[in-house]
Structure 1
Amino acid sequence: LYSYAAMQAIAAAATAAKSNDPQAVAKALHENGPFKTVLGDLSYDAKGDPTLPGYVMYEWKKGDDGKYTYIQKM
């Protein structure tokens, strides 16, 4: 469910940003909301942390070798 909820929030942020540019979507995630998800309303506090208890998002990046590397917990 976390992945589905994350995609709901990202899709809503992309709609709010009127863009699929990752930086514009990230900005919209932090400046808009709350976003309705299957886990409840998701928004971010002044530090940029999700306000929904127990909610986490992770960033992974695909390398030139085709393998994914963990970047950060968002």
Structure 2
Amino acid sequence: MIRAVVAHEISSMLIYQNISLDDACEIALKEKLNPFGGHAGLIAIDKDCNIKLIHNAERMYRAFKKSDGNKEISLYK
């Protein structure tokens, strides 16, 4: 993930291409991480507190809980 500068790529897409966090994360995973092979995942939060949890592995342990009570706990896709 560090070699692919994924955080920078997502941030740039949000700022300069004005696309959603969901779309930016999907593009980053497919175009920036997949060429390296292996499995990876990312957790992203934008300025409006939208959260994206995405991975290309069989499973990724992940969770969040917002102050409004909205939450997600997941293991598999």
Using structure 1 for the length normalisation, give the TM-score: 0.36
**Going by fraction, where is strand more abundant, 1 or 2?**
2
